[in-house]
Chains A and B, each alone.
Chain A
Amino acid sequence: MRLLRYEWSKLSHLPAFWGVLVLCLAFNCLLIGSGDRWRWEWNETAAMTGGLSQRVDGDFLDGLGRRPQSDYRNYLLSAAEGMTDIYADYDLKSLSDFYNSYVKSSPTAAVLMECKYERLAERIAHLSETGAAMDWYSGPITHYVHQFLYGTLMRAVLTEGAVLGMLSMLFLLGYENQQRTAAGVYASRTGRKLCRWKVLAGITWALAVYLLLAAVTLGIFLLFWDWSGVWGGSVSGQFNYIIDLFYPRPFFTWTDFTVGGYLAAAVGLGGLLTVVFALLAAICGTLVRNVYLSALLLALLLCGSAAAQALCSQAGLWMGYALLTFQPVSIWLTINGWFTELGLNAFVPWQETVSTGLGLAVCGMGTALALRHFGRKDVMT
């Protein structure tokens, strides 16, 4: 534990780190400001529907009807009155055909895609039973605000957390070489096992940084956006939809998520994905002790895998593409649709969760092997 504290202390005494963290938070504040075009409408909707339940039923319509007369009240009322259970007769075939047509040249990928949409049909039937489509979330502006929160803000938080986490890990693993203390440190009783503490310190640090960024950014966001009445609503309400490859569809999630539950799950999965990125950095940093070279290797690995995925889709190699959708970068790219069917970006239900779990297992094993390799090789100083 003492060694863990020392490793954290090496990071916390790095002025550049705090400088970058402050810049990240400042950037996030600017991002929050950039959502101002939807803020009035969101907050006005919250004020109009305050005290009403999330389920749009007779009580909801009566309650909304009793609000002071205004153009905006009338607009919300007409939107609410026009709500129907869109899941009852949802045409899934056109959606599944759209994506199946892309991957049909690869039989295995096509089978996986078909299976995914078969499972989705069951989910849609369930959503219809629960009446999730009739949840208000926050009315007609929902899609834009939801995409702003997850596609912009949470993506920024995850990117910053992952990048800072990876750099912190590389910094820790290259620190002794940079300070020329490697010979003394690795000849101590702890020896090369110090790298285990470094990896543990790097993982916990990355997670803490991500959670700090998420807490501060979401805290500031919620300070200016009134979300008080929406936490219990279903995230699959009919005003929430997602557009992928120009194909809009409702926000079908693989389980029933409330707005609060979805935010918690997204923040949690983001944390785990941050750990996956930190573990990738741990592998590179353990195998290549030079901080700059390992950073270069990591950048090539991440960019290369994303480029490979794009090339596979261009070349019609859909099975290769399907496999590459499990990589962390692909999961990061789809953050605005996590826990939904994700269109062409997913070949199995819960792909982001499965991929993150696989990422943790594979990168964890990779890190263990890299540490084992380091324990058996010469320390060149």
Chain B
Amino acid sequence: MLTVEHVTKKYGDFTALEDIFLQFTAGVYGLLAPNGAGKTTLIKMLTTLLFPTSGQILWEGEDIHALDEEYRGLLGYLPQEFGYYPGYTPRQFLRYVAALQCIPRKEADGRISKLLELVGLSDAELKKMRQLSGGMRQRVGIAQAMLNDPKLLILDEPTAGLDPRERVRFRNLIHSLAEDRIVILSTHIVSDIETIAGQIVMLRDHRLFCCDSPAGICGKMKGRVFEVPAETALAENQFLLSERQGEQGTVLRIFCDTPPRGAVPVTPGLEDAFLAIYREGQV
């Protein structure tokens, strides 16, 4: 179990995260917040790249910085900006990562072949990384994160730069990898995690806003999301979430406690919850 125990991270006077308390057990966690909310800071602390200003992060009750390489040996990480060596082939790059993960060469070669197949890159393993598309490189990134068969898999904005087809493929891949391990998937794209995350962690005002199942989060919005015709004038406490094309023209999806006349209640989705929680530029 991974526990984030009252962690605060400050950069000088700026507080990036304040008093975060979270517990992660096996399953997929979606870390959902707009850009600048502190997702990457939290993830960098989970990966030991950053040190908490106060509080601690525990793996099975022991501080991750005290566990040092023992902890990082259990960790698979795909950074937000996945860097690579342009002159290496995917296999060479994965061999290098295997060396960093202290995986013996022979054992690594077997795993690399399996992972390249899993991410659909067997045919491209001899191409230089610079010749691969953004999606293919991202798949190399996922393979390198899986190389040590991690107990804790952390993926920071993993679908950035992927086309819709690759996003679906990626979601399926994560789903298949999620057994018996903690997967933390950070994103600001709701559709990435809506179907695969068992728990959603939301940050707001640099604090933990909620950690709940998608159904639980949507449930709290029940009876507060409506659709109204596009020409409807919205009152001060009625927030526009999104627009869509209905059968009789454009309809507005709004969030409010007291709906305007003619408003039709709809079942809230995770995107509605996200837009409602982070309305008016709140992070």
A contact set with B: CB distance below 8 Å: 2-3, 6, 10, 13, 176, 179-191, 193-194, 376-379, 381
Contacts and interface: CB of A to CB of B under 8 A. Distances in A.
Nearest to B82: A184
Contacts of B78: 184
Contact of A186 (B49, B80, B86, B101): B49
Given A188-B72, A193-B69, A179 B85 contact: yes
The number of chain B residues touching the other chain, given as a range, is 20 to 34
B77 A189 contact: no
Contacts of A379: 44, 49-50
Contact of A182 (B72, B83, B99, B102): B83
A175 B87 CA distance: 14
A376 B51 contact: yes
Given A182-B83, A184-B83, A184-B144, A191 B68 contact: yes
Contacts of A186: 48-49
Given A182-B83, A189-B73, 12 more contacts: A176-B83, A183-B44, A183-B49, A183-B83, A184-B82, A184-B83, A186-B49, A188-B97, A189-B100, A190-B100, A190-B101, A378-B44
Interface string B39-53: 000001001111100
A179 B68 CA distance: 24
13 contacts: A179-B86, A181-B84, A183-B44, A183-B47, A183-B83, A184-B83, A189-B72, A189-B101, A190-B101, A191-B68, A191-B72, A379-B50, A381-B79
A177 to B, nearest CB: 9
Nearest to B103: A189
A6 B77 contact: no
Determine which residue in A3, A184, A190, A191 has the highest number of CB atoms from chain B within 10 A of its CB, and name it. A184
Contacts of A377: 51
A183 B51 contact: no
B225 interface: no
A6 B99 contact: yes
A185 B77 CA distance: 10
Does more than half of chain B's interface fall in helix, strand or loop, or is it mixed? Answer: loop
A179 B69 CA distance: 23
B72 to A, nearest CB: 5
A278 to B, nearest CB: 23
A2 B81 CA distance: 26
Contact of B79 (A6, A179, A183): A183
A2 B72 contact: no
Contacts of B86: 179
A189 B144 contact: no
A191 B79 contact: no
Contact of B100 (A179, A180, A194): A194
A14 to B, nearest CB: 10
Interface in B67-113: 68-69, 72-73, 75, 77-87, 96-97, 99-102, 105
B50 A2 contact: no
Contacts of B68: 191
B72 A183 contact: no
B213 interface: no
A187 B48 contact: yes
Contacts of B72: 187-189, 191
A381 B96 contact: no
Nearest to A181: B83
A180 to B, nearest CB: 3
Given A2-B105, A189-B100, A189-B148, A378 B51 contact: yes
Interface string B134-160: 000000010010001000000000000
Contacts of B100: 3, 185, 188-190, 194
A165 B31 CA distance: 45
Nearest to B99: A2
A186 B83 CA distance: 12
Contacts of A179: 83-86
Contacts of A376: 51
Contacts of A188: 72, 97, 100-101
Contact of A181 (B69, B85, B102, B105): B85
Nearest to A4: B99
Nearest to B70: A189
Interface in B15-62: 44, 47-51
B83 A6 contact: no
Contact of B99 (A3, A10, A193, A378): A3
A176 B82 CA distance: 11
Contacts of A181: 83-85
A167 B165 CA distance: 45
Nearest to A177: B83
B99 A381 contact: no
A189 B84 CA distance: 18
A187 B49 contact: yes
